[in-house]
């Protein structure tokens, strides 16, 4: 993500997550805070070649770091994959996930891992289409907005 893409990326993330899921407002603010996240992680964007419009974004750790506490030493994790509503169906999400898989290979780890919530069905279809498999032994229930949800873990061998 370039500096001139920060604001557009934050707006995209807020719209993508806030438009599709019922989330705690504080968590939605965290998702939209790409400027803050960029201080400790790498943010990647897919942008339209003609207009430069930001179409999607994903977060990965810096080499040798982790985003999630339960990620293992031989894994690289990704977080917060979001695609603009008007860009969906164009392969942007898959492009960003495949980019992350390439980074994981370059970094010499064995798996790319991610967390997703049970209500994020469209995201789960994308992950499974790309080749991710669930890691059920690392999944757990959590409460969000007064509802019990399942935090699902997916992994892709790289």
CATH of the domain at 63: 3.40.630.30
- pLDDT by residue for the chain (158 residues), tens only, comes to 999 999 999 999 999 999 888 888 999 999 999 999 999 999 999 999 999 999 999 999 999 999 988 888 899 999 999 999 999 999 999 999 999 999 999 999 999 999 999 889 999 999 999 999 999 999 999 887 778 888 999 999 99
Which of left, alpha, beta for 108 (phi over 0: left; psi -120 to 50: alpha)? Answer: left
**Which of 32, 53, 52, 51 shows the shortest CA–CA distance to 43?**
32
Q: What is the pLDDT of residue 112?
A: 98
Q: What is the pLDDT of residue 39?
A: 95
**Which of 45, 38, 37 shows the shortest CA–CA distance to 96?**
45
Domain span holding position 114: 3-157
**How many whole angstroms from its chain centre is CA 129?**
16
Using H for helix, E for strand and C for coil, what is the string for 62-80? CCCCCCCCCCCCCEEEEEE
Burial 38-72 (b: 16+ CB within 10 A, else e): eeebbbbbbbeeeeeebbbbbbbbeeeebbbeebe
Q: What is the pLDDT of residue 137?
A: 96
* Count of domains forming the chain: 1
Q: What is the pLDDT of residue 148?
A: 86
Burial 6-22 (b: 16+ CB within 10 A, else e): bebbbebbbebbbeebe
Q: What is the pLDDT of residue 69?
A: 86
């Amino acid at each position: 993500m370039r500096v001139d893409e920060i604001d557009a990326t934050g707006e995209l993330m807020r719209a993508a997550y806030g438009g599709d899921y019922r989330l705690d407002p504080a968590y939605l603010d965290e998702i939209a805070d790409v400027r803050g996240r960029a201080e400790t992680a790498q943010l990647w964007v897919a942008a339209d070649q003609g207009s430069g419009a930001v179409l999607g974004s994903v977060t990965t750790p810096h080499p040798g770091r982790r985003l999630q506490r339960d990620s293992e030493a031989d894994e690289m994790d990704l977080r917060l994959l979001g695609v603009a509503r008007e860009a969906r169906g164009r392969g942007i999400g898959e492009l960003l996930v495949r980019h992350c898989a390439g980074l994981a290979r370059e970094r010499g780890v064995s798996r790319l891992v991610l967390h997703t919530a049970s209500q994020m069905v469209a995201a789960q279809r994308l992950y499974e289409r790309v080749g991710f498999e669930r890691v059920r032994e690392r999944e757990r229930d959590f409460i969000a907005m007064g509802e019990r949800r399942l935090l699902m873990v997916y992994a892709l061998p790289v």
